[in-house]
Amino acid sequence: TMKPPSPDSELRDALFSLRKYFKRTLLFSFFTNALTLGSAFYMLGVYGRVVNSRSMNTLLMMTLLVICVHALMDILDWTRTKLLYAAGLRLDRTLGERVFNATFEARLRNQPFGIMALNDLRNFRGFLSSPALTSLVDAPISLLLIVIIFVMSAPLGLFTLAAALAMAAVGAVTQRRTA
């Protein structure tokens, strides 16, 4: 006789089937975060070349380039968000019917935990396309980029590190006050 799959393996299999979405998300995250270095290069270029040469053409071209870099960064970020949204929909298609049937059966048996499974699936699907997940993906890449900024310019690296620590502190204080 064939043993029905356990819920753990069903969820694991469903998440494993989303790996292509997660790999693409990591790729888009890397390039999105790498493009944030465009502003640092812009500042270094302005203060290193434009201020000394007073060349308005160089300033104009560098400004146009950094605007294009930011536009590309926004397009990549939008695409990453759409990928994660699609992953959430795929997870819902994979598990939705099974969870609904299990919830329905639990409700018929008057078990109190029935509706919680549908809420859990909805919350997890929402988490997949949330800024919280993209922040978790961005965190290690951001640390690498801070190191790269330090290599480019120590004062700029210190400023970036201080800004990152300040943002983390504001986030921690906000979390404590709202939790």
Task: Name the average pLDDT for the chain.
Answer: 84
pTM reported for the whole predicted model = 0.73
pLDDT in tens, 40-61: 788 878 777 777 778 788 888 8
With a CB cutoff of 8 Å and minimum separation 6, the contacts of 42 are 62, 63, 65, 66
Query: How much is the average pLDDT of 79-101?
Result: 87
- pLDDT band, residue 113 (cuts 50/70/90): low
- 14 or 165, which is more confident? 165
* Range 131-155 average pLDDT: 87
Q: Is the pLDDT confidence value at 1 over 50? A: no
Output the DSSP codes for 65-131.
Answer: HHHHHHHHHHHHHHHHHHHHHHHHHHHHHHHHHHHHHHHHHHHHTT-TTHHHHHHHHHHHHHHHTSH
The one-letter amino acid code at 51 reads V
